[in-house]
Amino acid sequence: EFYAKSTIIQKNYQSDFNMHREVFSYLNSQKKYFYQEIPKFLESLTNGNHPLVRADDALLYQFHEVDVLLALLKNLDEYNHSQAENNKISKSQILDHIFQSITYAFKSLDENSFIAGNDIDGKSYAVNFHFYANMISMLAFMELKDSHQAQIQEFITRTKKGVLIAKPTIEKYATYQIKAYRGLNLIFFDISTLHLASEFFNELDWEIIAKKALERLMKRFDPEEGYMPDNRDEDEDVGPSTSYFVYTMFTVSFLLRLCPVNELGDKLQRGLDWMMRSNYPNGQMVDIYDERGRLKPYSESEFATISLFNRSPLFACSPGGREMIQYWENHATKKSDLGTIANDINFF
């Protein structure tokens, strides 16, 4: 009833995308909760706080904060249409918040947009750039270039230096000079970032490297079952990890958000179908053939909460996936955080 009143949504979605009614309904429910929480989120930012940032993986959530603001910016007319007059916000106000949040996050990064040479979660991988941080930064730069160009130039320079340091590693992987240098799910993030950097910095050869790396990575999906094996090297076959494959699907969804390629969408859909065949009735992953062998018996509410936070938004694009998400939402003890919901909204 709330969204039926919005002619803006009808114009933006029903005519342009002809989305399936159930997917449209799911997206609307996510947006409704998102819009309800935004006034408190913005008030907290205005008071100098960072409501999404927590002690573990702090930098990751600093960039979640930016992604929330990007989702709001893209849906500003719709948000204002849903709010009382005192909660409405202008584009310039959102851009100011994005600038403040980016400035806060970059205080944790060195001159190459690295954390003392480590990756975003603090672990030492091969030389690479911060998959999520750089990607979200460049999306923010694209929005800020007209209003805050002078202030963000230093951040742009640091980001490009990080990409230039990491590019040779990705290029060696793309040309089969080295084996996978990190987990395959994280390489999807690297490809996403290099793809976006090619556009942002107008470096066409970077896009060629990203495409070649993606071509190699796409071959790793099992041609019959649809999962991606939980091992880095092509000459190993240890089978799937039901407990970890959801992270791979999540990173694939980020790449698809930036680079909507039909073949990649098909791989993602098949992977999600495999995941739905690999669940017990309560939603917990089948552990018998889990290569990592790390599953433990969660309570129903614990598992639902974990799954809800780490799902891919494309689950909503198939009937079984929508039922799974609905199950998680009904049994979880917590609601998805705004950063997760922002990814849903940006993705759709």
Confidence of residue 13 (pLDDT cuts 50, 70, 90): very low
- Per mean pLDDT, which range of 19-28, 252-261, 336-345 is the poorest? 19-28
Angle (CA) 346-57-137 rounded to 5° is 45
User: Residue 22's pLDDT is what?
Assistant: 67
Is pLDDT at 95 greater than 70 in this prediction?
Answer: yes
Tens-place pLDDT, residues 304-334: 776 776 666 667 666 777 777 777 777 878 7
DSSP letter for each residue of 204-266:
HHHHHHHHHHHHHHHTTS-TTT----S-S-TT------TTTHHHHHHHHHHHHHHS--HHHHH
**More reliable by pLDDT, 343 or 79:** 79
Q: Give 339 or 153, the one with higher predicted confidence.
A: 153
Look at 247 and 201; give whichever has higher pLDDT: 201
End-to-end CA distance of the chain: 21
- How large is the average pLDDT for residues 269-273? 86
Give whichever of 29-43, 242-256, 261-275, 292-306 has the largest mean pLDDT. 29-43
What's the pLDDT band for 157 if we cut at 50, 70, 90?
very high
Distance of CA 127 to the CA centre of its chain: 22
Distance (Å, rounded) from C-alpha 246 to C-alpha 45? Answer: 31
Does residue 80 surpass a pLDDT of 50?
yes
**132 vs 164 pLDDT, higher one:** 164
Q: In the Cβ-directed half-sphere of 244, how many Cα atoms lie within 13 Å?
A: 17
Structure confidence at residue 8 (pLDDT): 38
Percentage of the chain modeled with pLDDT above 90: 33
The mean pLDDT value for 241-251 works out to 79
- H-helix or E-strand containing 58? helix 58-74
Give this prediction's pTM: 0.83
Backbone dihedral angles phi then psi of residue 224, each to the nearest 5 degrees: -100, -45
Mean pLDDT highest for which of 52-56, 236-240, 271-275?
271-275
Res 60: pLDDT: 76
Position 7 scores a pLDDT of 38
Label residue 98 by pLDDT band (50, 70, 90). Answer: very high
Asked if the model's pLDDT at residue 282 lies above 80, the reply is no
Residue 285 main-chain phi, psi, to 5 deg:
-70, 145
